[in-house]
Structure 1
Amino acid sequence: MTWNPLKKNHLTQRPTPAPPLLTHSEDRELDIAVQRLIYVEDTIRKLTKEMKKYVEAVTNLDRADQRLTLNLTTCGLAHLNDEFRKVVENYHSVTTQIGKTVQEMAALCQKTFIEPLKKLRDEFILIAAAIAKREELVTTWKYSYNRVKKLQEKKDRTASHIAKLERERRAEETAAKELKTVHAQLLVELPMFLDKRLEYIKPSVHALIMIQLDYYGSTTHLFTHLMPIPNASSSPSTMIPEDEYQEAVDNQMNRIKALTIVKDH
């Protein structure tokens, strides 16, 4: 079955209180832990969804760049002027190189972010099953507890009634013991899961930062070389100093803003 990050969360059910067997404090402690887990699972789902949208957006932008530069290189205008043709060819060369970087970035995001978070979210299936089991035990115990109360309220002192009451008491004690055991286990394991799994997410976030740093850094580096260097005698491979690069960018932006096509009419 294909995994769908848009489907509803696995963990949606908050634990039902079970007084007087469990104290208000015991019930509340588990309820808080489950609410935190519900929030964490929902966050993981949203992170995965947004990461898929992010990768798709970057990929679509790259495709648009590829089409744009390809159209520029094949149009007749690019061949009317050698200098303009060279600019267009260099532009297309850069977008082609960036296209390969985008493919690598998408693969890395899938491997280091989407897949680990998918595995983490799968753990919530087990947690939801554990909470559901507790709910069944609560239902069973409440049934036995209420049966015992009703039998105790009767004034019947016959042997059959006493025997029936004793059977219900034993059933209630068994259900109560099992419920308390499962409840105590959840109070230990759920907070532990929260602490460990939050640590699990950190490497994925760190990997995403490094992937973006590499992608945007290499993209900036490639496009920087397309910027005209002030001194024509400079080598084409020479990096532009930061202050000169920023000045060149500002000058280019000012020239663009001064064009008739961007002026208000």
Structure 2
Amino acid sequence: MRIPFKIGQPKKQIVPKTVERDFEREYGKLQQLEDQIKKLHKDMKRSTEADIAMSKSAVKISSDLLTNPLCEQDQMFMETVTALDTAMRRMDAFNQEKVNQIQKTAIEPLKKFGNVFPSLNMAVKRREQSLQDYKRLQSKVEKYEEKEKSGPVLVKLHQAREELRPVQEDFEAKNKQLLEEMPKFYNSRIDYFQPSFEALIRAQVVYYTEMSKIFGDLTGQIEQQGKTDEQREKENEAKLNDLRALSIVADD
């Protein structure tokens, strides 16, 4: 039984399988890179937003403590909270500098690099459309080649071949350009992002170096001789037990 011929599915292999595999491999690498860029950009934005929220919350806590009546009743405690508030505000300022640096040297370059992918994907779509046109016209040529070579058929065959030629050339040009440029674009990621990630690391190093100084100074200001954390915990527990002994909080 003869299978009816379908327009658009030529019998001739118009794109070698090795070429198609090369194209799929290179484009697949770029699709994976696009996904990675989007994820990294999103994660870095979340990270910097969390950093800002953390330092702002720390400043809010120390500021609230300063206005708490408890501080007014104990001069030593007021000095401790004042030192804490100063440290938190210094931390917030350095954190803002770090975030601004990361935004400028890492997040924005990620976004700019990611903005290239829509044009790349559009070029791949145009190549695919050109390939479909090529297959359709090749199939048309094959249909006339299989028919009996009458005058009208030969005329139509000639017309079909003339129609095929520019479409074939268009596809081959698009295919050649993408196969040449996709690997170059993929390999460019290293030179593009290395300075950004180096700047990201430096920003973190500078920030945590300053944090070490700030909290080192704070430790020297608030350190209490002769009291460990365990001792303070025992004192708090003892005071809490005294409160529990009051009649107003006694169990029914």
Where in structure 2 are the equivalents of 1:214-229 lying within 5 Å? 214-228=206-220
Find the aligned partners of 1:256 and 1:35 in 2 and give their Cα distance: 60
Q: Which of structures 1 and 2 has the bigger CA Rg?
A: 2
Alpha-carbon shift at residue 197 of structure 1 (Å): 2.2
Please say if residues 22 and 180 of structure 1, whose CA atoms lie closer than 8 Å, have aligned partners that are also in contact.
no
Please say if residues 94 and 207 of structure 2, whose CA atoms lie closer than 8 Å, have aligned partners that are also in contact.
yes
Residue in structure 1 matched with residue 170 of structure 2 by the alignment = 178
Among 131, 137, 147, the alignment partner of 2:130 is 137
Q: Deviations over 1:35-71 (max 9, x none)?
A: 1101111111111101111011111111110111011
Alpha-carbon shift at residue 87 of structure 1 (Å): 0.9
- Indicate the SS of the match to 1:226: helix
Residue in structure 2 matched with residue 124 of structure 1 by the alignment = 117
Among 100, 105, 123, the alignment partner of 1:112 is 105
Q: Does 1:68 find its partner at 2:61?
A: yes
Letter in 2 for 1:188: E
Q: Structure 2 regions of 5+ residues with no counterpart?
A: 1-10, 239-252
Among 174, 197, 201, the alignment partner of 2:189 is 197
Residue in structure 2 matched with residue 47 of structure 1 by the alignment = 40
Residue in structure 2 matched with residue 6 of structure 1 by the alignment = none
Q: Greater share of helix residues, 1 or 2?
A: 2
Alpha-carbon shift at residue 186 of structure 1 (Å): 1.0
Alpha-carbon shift at residue 230 of structure 1 (Å): 11
The TM-score normalised by the length of structure 1 is 0.78
Q: Does 1:30 find its partner at 2:23?
A: yes
Matched positions, count: 226
Among 145, 158, 164, the alignment partner of 2:156 is 164
Q: Deviations over 1:215-258 (max 9, x none)?
A: 122112101111148999xxxxxxxxxxxxxxx9xx85555666
Displaced runs of 4 or more, over 6 A? 229-232
Q: Deviations over 1:66-92 (max 9, x none)?
A: 111011111111122222111110100
Letter in 1 for 2:67: T
Q: Structure 1 regions of 5+ residues with no counterpart?
A: 1-17, 233-247
Residue in structure 1 matched with residue 74 of structure 2 by the alignment = 81
- Indicate the SS of the match to 2:218: coil
Identity of aligned residues (%): 26
Q: Do the aligned partners of residues 257 and 30 (structure 1) sit closer, same or farther apart at CA in structure 2, a change above 3 Å counting?
A: farther
Letter in 1 for 2:237: T
Please say if residues 21 and 176 of structure 1, whose CA atoms lie closer than 8 Å, have aligned partners that are also in contact.
no
> Which fold has the larger relative contact order, with Cα–Cα distance below 8 Å and residues 6 or more apart in sequence?
2
Q: What RMSD, in angstroms, separates the aligned Cα atoms of the two structures? A: 2.4
Q: Deviations over 1:157-188 (max 9, x none)?
A: 33221011011112223222221222111111
